[in-house]
């Protein structure tokens, strides 16, 4: 067919016919579709006018229409379409209601008072509006597909970035994302076979120019970059059974950077379910009309999964210690350890101390034996925030371990979260309570990057809701974690003490 525009329209007609058979069984969402010209707009309206709910023709050619996610992925590839965006919804600044269908079942979110601080956080792609320079010329990046594998990102102001991610339209095998400075020196790179690759950049540096190079050797069809995101986020390491590629995870779960210590060299994919559940409590995508809301899923927080526990939920201190050290090297701000067991080892104790010396907040489950956590680790290592579990009535659950090394409590009974195979399940335990505390620690860091681990501990403890004996007690610690109170405490220097050696 000689006319490429006509050919694309024929494909569109076939695509429409295919999906109309099943469209009512899929989730329709509002999308904004932009066109390069009036001609493209008119052709689109002729063939798809029944899906269009409104249009704007005064200053630009754009329509609001209903499509499934699968449909819009194909539509945005059409030559007549210049850009596609979700019709993002806004709400009153005085309150927030999430559109995630299972949100009403998440009693823990309300218990720790997250909703009142949610409007204070905003996700932002730092690359939007920046200049993209290619061999063909320069353009402002607004999320459009990029048909080039080598280009520069230019900014008039210094960019402070923690993470850059690139998504391609298809994968034929391994590919590499390489980020260089303006002089061509490699800053960081990552290789893998996921459609999205992520790289972490030092938070201590700023950039006015970056060079991006994509390598897809021996691919039959070169990839198209469908999305590019750069952010300055807090980083949480979840050391557990890994994390599944769940439909309710946004780009803030960095699977391409995860590590598997059970099967070295593989992605940190979950074959148990526990790690996916923990990750969802922290980072499940908010306001995506899907599943649940992560406690920090609406905020500038990234999660990297580390798989140290096998499909039976068991792993050794050596592997856990390696993961802790790697998380520190990666620049983690918070480490979540929803695991516990009897016995201490020097290798894990030193790894935890290394994390604390680097001002990383280390949060661990108290354990589920209903006994003293005196010999339960890693919760009992000095400097670790040990977490007990409460139910919906703020009662400590009977199986939650107790003792003088306990620090704080959080929701841990009947907690709904993400699970393997794109499922959702309700689980209970101090493992579930721990990510609530990790999330609030991450939100504190996102609110004020000046806060170190000692200041964050102080805020968590001072703001906790006292639920048992007045003040600290060995069953609930300082009480139930409270996000809003912790965030709104005035900034102050802090000093804290904990025993490095017995006595």
The strand pairing partners of 253, in sequence order, are 303
Catalytic residue among 113, 198, 240, 260: 240
- The CA distance from 484 to 116, in Å, is 7
CA distance 76 to 82: 8
Compute the distance between CA of residue 323 and CA of residue 305 in angstroms, rounded to an integer: 10
358 noted as active-site residue: no
Handedness of CA 364, 368, 369, 370 (dihedral sign): positive
Q: Within 10 A of 172 (CB to CB), how many other CB atoms are there? A: 15
Point out which residues pair with 390 in neighbouring strands. 396, 411
Block residue for tokens 């520190």 = 328
Residue identified by tokens 């025993």 is: 499
- Map tokens 């970059």 to a residue: 225
Strand order in the sheet with 137-140: 137-140, 131-134, 150-159, 207-215, 175-180, 186-192
d(CA 31, CA 503): 63
Spell out the alpha helix ranges (H) of 249-295. Answer: 274-283
Give the C-alpha separation, 296 to 112, whole Å: 12
For the question of residue 54 being annotated catalytic, the response is no
Nearest partner of 385 among 304, 478, 315, judged by Cα: 478
Look up 170 and say whether it is catalytic. Answer: no
Choice among 233, 246, 255, 274 that is catalytic: 274
Q: Which residues are catalytic?
A: 240, 274, 431
């Amino acid at each position: 067919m000689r006319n490429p525009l006509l050919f694309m329209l024929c494909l569109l007609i076939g695509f429409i016919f295919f999906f109309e058979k099943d469209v009512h069984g899929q989730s329709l969402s509002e999308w904004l579709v932009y066109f390069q010209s009036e001609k493209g707009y008119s052709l689109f309206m002729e063939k798809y006018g029944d899906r269009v709910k409104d249009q704007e023709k005064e200053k630009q050619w754009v329509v609001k229409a209903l499509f499934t996610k699968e449909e819009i992925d194909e539509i945005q590839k059409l030559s007549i379409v210049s850009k596609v965006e979700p019709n993002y919804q806004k709400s009153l600044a005085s309150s927030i209601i999430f559109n995630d269908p299972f949100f009403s079942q998440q009693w823990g979110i309300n218990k720790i008072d997250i909703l009142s601080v949610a409007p204070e956080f905003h996700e932002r792609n730092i690359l939007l509006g920046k200049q993209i320079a290619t061999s063909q010329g320069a353009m402002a990046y607004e999320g459009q597909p990029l048909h080039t594998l080598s280009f520069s990102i230019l900014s008039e102001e210094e960019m402070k970035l923690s993470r850059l991610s690139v998504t391609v339209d298809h994968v034929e095998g391994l590919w590499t994302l390489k980020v260089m400075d303006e002089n061509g020196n490699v800053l960081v790179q990552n290789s893998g076979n996921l459609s999205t690759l992520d790289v972490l950049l030092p938070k201590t540096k700023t950039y006015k120019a970056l060079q991006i190079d994509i390598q897809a050797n021996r691919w039959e069809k070169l990839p198209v970059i469908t999305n590019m995101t750069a952010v300055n986020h807090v980083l949480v390491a979840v050391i557990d059974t890994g994390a599944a590629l769940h439909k309710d995870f946004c780009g803030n779960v960095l699977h391409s950077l995860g590590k598997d210590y059970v099967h070295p060299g593989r992605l940190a994919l979950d074959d148990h379910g526990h790690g996916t559940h923990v990750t969802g409590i922290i980072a499940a995508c908010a306001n995506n009309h899907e599943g649940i809301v992560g406690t920090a899923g609406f905020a500038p927080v990234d999660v990297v999964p580390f798989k140290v526990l096998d499909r039976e939920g068991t792993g050794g201190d050596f592997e856990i210690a390696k993961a802790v050290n790697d998380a520190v090297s990666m620049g983690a701000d918070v480490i979540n350890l929803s695991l516990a067991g009897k016995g201490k080892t020097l290798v894990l104790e030193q790894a935890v101390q290394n994390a604390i010396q680097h001002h990383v907040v280390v949060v661990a489950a108290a354990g589920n034996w209903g006994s003293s956590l005196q010999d339960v680790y890693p919760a009992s290592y000095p400097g670790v925030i040990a977490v007990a579990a409460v139910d919906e009535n703020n009662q400590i659950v009977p199986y939650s371990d107790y003792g003088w090394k306990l620090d704080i409590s959080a929701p841990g009974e009947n907690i709904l979260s993400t699970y393997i195979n794109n499922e959702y399940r309700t689980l209970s335990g101090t493992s579930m309570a721990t990510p609530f505390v990790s999330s609030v620690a991450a939100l504190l860091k996102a609110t004020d990057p000046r806060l170190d681990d000692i200041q964050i501990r102080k805020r968590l403890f001072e703001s906790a809701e006292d639920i048992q004996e007045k003040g600290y007690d060995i069953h609930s610690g300082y009480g139930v974690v409270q996000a809003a109170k912790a965030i709104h405490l005035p900034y102050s220097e802090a000093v804290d003490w904990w025993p490095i050696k017995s006595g």
